[in-house]
Structure 1
Amino acid sequence: MTHLAGFSQFSDTVHYYANFSGTGNLNRTNTAGSTYLLNNAFQFQVSKKKFSINSLASYIYGKNPSTKTNDDLLAILNLDILKGVQKFYYWALTSYEKSFSLKLDNRFQAGAGVGYTFVNTNNANLEISDGVLFETTDLSIPDQEGQTSYQTVRNSLRLKYRFIIKEIFRFDGINFYQASLSDGDDYILKLRANFSIKLYKWLNFTTSFNYNRQNVTATENLFLSYGLSMEKFF
């Protein structure tokens, strides 16, 4: 999650932020075998007074005794303009995703929009944004219209938040609702939330919650994982 100081505190110096989290869970019995999930993510951010560039790459792999459950990749590159100097800002985004669990072979999105920051301090951040994305998609299974490949334009609504308590506890998340402008039944829902406890100045214990739904194929996934995250400001 992005960490930015308040508007009055932000200088024109270039700021960098890097975060790596490795979380997962494992269940093993002598009768049913092993079930496990690995959830790794890397985030890098470059910030100046009038713009910031954010990148995210995440990979999830899961398996139970009988089959693979997850093999999911997500990469996002996001540009925010004027976010550090005023509440109303502009954004542009491009992303690539593939997901075994959602029956998604490839999805590419690119677009832009506007956002509004309600709160942005060292300990709290709350913002909402909206915009338009062009998407091209290849599916592993036919959708409700019998298609395996299609293009569409989506409205992308995003809610982003971060709260830090006593510099030890942090709760952050980002939620997307992306509905096709041509088909009301074609929507994507992504809910992501993290709760972290600071163990050291650069090390946290982190619990992550993820829920994703792709309505055209009636596929969804939900997982809760825990582990460690490392972060660095420079």
Structure 2
Amino acid sequence: MPVKPDYFYLILSFFLLPVNAAAQFTDSIHYSVNYATAGSINKTNDGQTYLLNNAAKFGIKKKAFSLNFSNSWVYGKQDRQLTNNDFSSSLDFNLYSSVPHFFYWGLANYNTSKSLQINNQLLTGAGVAYSIYDRKDAYLNISDGFLFDSSDLLLKGDFRDVYQTYRNSLRVVFKFVIREYIVLDNSTFFQPSLKRADDYNFRSNSALSFKVSKWLSLTTALNYNRVSRTDRENLLFTYGLSFEKFF
């Protein structure tokens, strides 16, 4: 298991907003649990490489709001040298308005990453989102807002960089379901600093899943991350299983 962070993320305080949900689902509370485990192993006469990627998510959804708590951990070695020990924990929520397909969002996210040279990073913020498509088999959403970034990074030459900045956060999310058993989804984030254009975070997570049953899927995932301030990036391709249960 990864080492617990030195400090845990703060819960984002959000202004109370008058919201009135669209009646596309009932007023009862729905819960969801998702766990995915994936990895890759490459062993030759010259050496070996392995990568493990674990992610867990718990969700609550009601007519007026939804809440998600997510955790992921990526661990990898190449020829016995540590390459990845990347942990992320996130709490996000949506508040649905009376305007169809429009909602407010809030986020608190904590990261630490060996591969991206992040000792500690805390992101908190809020914004608005609009769903261009919102059907059972097709979903396309775009959102924008602002984040406060408090980071402790390791730059080239082992120089420690502790700083704070405000960022714009643009996100595009899509999900397509083909014949009820093939699922393609992606979420892409671009988060430039409001102070410097060359200071940005970029993240894109894609997955292709084949449903074996209602709760079990075979999944391949391609994840790309870049932090311009540390001039570090990683590209992860993994395959494995995902479990999802609604109740």
Q: Does 1:220 align with 2:228?
A: no
Q: Does 1:124 align with 2:138?
A: yes
189, 202, 205: which one pairs with 1:189? 202
Residue identity opposite 1:211 in structure 2? Y
CA distance in structure 1 between the aligned counterparts of 2:140 and 2:219, rounded to whole angstroms? 20
35, 41, 64: which one pairs with 2:55? 41
Aligned length: 225
Kept in 2: contact 1:87–1:118 (CA 8 A): yes
TM-score (norm 1): 0.92
Aligned-pair identity in percent equals 44
Structure 1 vs Structure 2 CA RMSD: 1.6
| Aligned pairs (5 A) from 1:100-139 | 100-139=114-153
60, 66, 69: which one pairs with 1:55? 69
For residue 73 of structure 1, what is the aligned residue in structure 2?
Answer: 87
Structure 1, unaligned runs of 5 or more: 1-6
CA distance in structure 1 between the aligned counterparts of 2:31 and 2:186, rounded to whole angstroms? 20
Alpha-carbon displacement from aligned partner over 1:32-77 (angstroms, at most 9, x marks no partner): 2321000000011100011000111000001011411100001110
- TM-superposed CA distance for 1:202, in Å, is 0.8
For residue 25 of structure 1, what is the aligned residue in structure 2?
Answer: 40
Structure 2, unaligned runs of 5 or more: 1-21
For residue 208 of structure 1, what is the aligned residue in structure 2?
Answer: 221
- TM-superposed CA distance for 1:125, in Å, is 1.0
Partner secondary structure for residue 216 of structure 1? coil
- TM-superposed CA distance for 1:23, in Å, is 0.4
- Name the CA shift for 1:226/1:84 in 2 (closer, same or farther; >3 Å): farther
TM-score (norm 2): 0.87
- Name the CA shift for 1:84/1:170 in 2 (closer, same or farther; >3 Å): farther
161, 177, 186: which one pairs with 1:148? 161
- TM-superposed CA distance for 1:140, in Å, is 2.1
Alpha-carbon displacement from aligned partner over 1:145-171 (angstroms, at most 9, x marks no partner): x76110000000001111111110000
Alpha-carbon displacement from aligned partner over 1:88-123 (angstroms, at most 9, x marks no partner): 110110000011000110000101001101111221
